[in-house]
Amino acid sequence: MPPPDRPVDEPSDASGVAAVRLAYDAVADLYATHLPDARAEGPLDLALLDAFAEAVQAGGDPVVLDAGCGAGRISRHLADRGCSVEGVDLSPGMVEQARRAHPDLRFAVGSLSELPFPAGRFAGVLLWYSTIHTPPAGRARVFSEAARVLRPGGHVLVGFQAGEGTRDVSAAYRRHGREVRLHRYLSTPEEVRAHLEAAGLREQVRLVRRPRGAEGEDQAFLLARLG
């Protein structure tokens, strides 16, 4: 379900959170069917995920939050590599799919801007393409929350489409018979680095790769450490 590359104006209504929740509830079964695991990720993407898993395990208690976990496919990847994974997602439909596919893992419904976890709970926080529906004005809060629930010395890995502007991805789902309203917001690696740094996270690794297959933009990944 590759998203189109048509840029659009940022939606003016701030009920974007509700729109994202409704959209992913409507397509949760499609996601679970079309993206059951990490096979859509490229070799470099998987290498970064594995490096993240190794980094959080170095502290001896590798409890990881998959923030924006969707149907749990990357949660499973990390769990299979020795992490103790909990997932959270805005969409109850996605969480239902995740619980069904991965009953041995824990999943909860919640917002990235108000994570339902105490401070310092996790050795790692994964933001794998989960900040892409957050408008620029809301990104600082998301990264601040990721840092809040992270232990000192813990790691955050962020994956996102690199660039500037907004894309309307609604048509990609309409082709599958689902009427949704959904936008994603591009970010530059420097913008993401700045948000991480403001939250007390120091960049450790940066990778930007060219598009593969139906991808329309460069893909970027930043690994950062708290403290």
Residue 202 included in any domain: no
Residues pairing with 177 in the sheet = none
The sign of the dihedral angle between the CA atoms of 34, 35, 36, 40 is positive
Residue 225 lies in a domain: no
Q: Mean pLDDT check: name the lowest of 65-74, 107-116, 169-178.
A: 169-178
Name the helix (H) or strand (E) containing 46: helix 43-57
Rounded distance, CA 69 to CA 107, Å? Answer: 8
SS3 for 108-175 is EECECCECCCCCCCEEEEEEECCCCCCCHHHHHHHHHHHHHCEEEEEEEEEEEEECCCEEECHHHHHC
User: In this model, does residue 220 exceed pLDDT 70?
Assistant: yes
* Within-domain flag for 217: no
Q: Indicate whether 215 belongs to any domain.
A: no
Report d(CA 124, CA 57) in Å as an integer: 9
Q: Please report, rounded to a whole number, the percentage of residues in the chain having pLDDT higher than 70.
A: 90
pLDDT(92) > 80 = yes
Count how many residues are written for the chain. Answer: 227
Residue 69, domain member (yes or no): yes
Number of folded domains that form the chain: 1
Residues facing residue 67 across a β-bridge: 88
Task: With respect to residue 194, please indicate whether it lies within any of the assigned structural domains.
Answer: no
Token pair belonging to 64:
């990881």
Domain membership of residue 174 as a residue range? 18-182
CATH value at residue 93? 3.40.50.150
Give residue 223's pLDDT: 98
pLDDT at site 15: 60
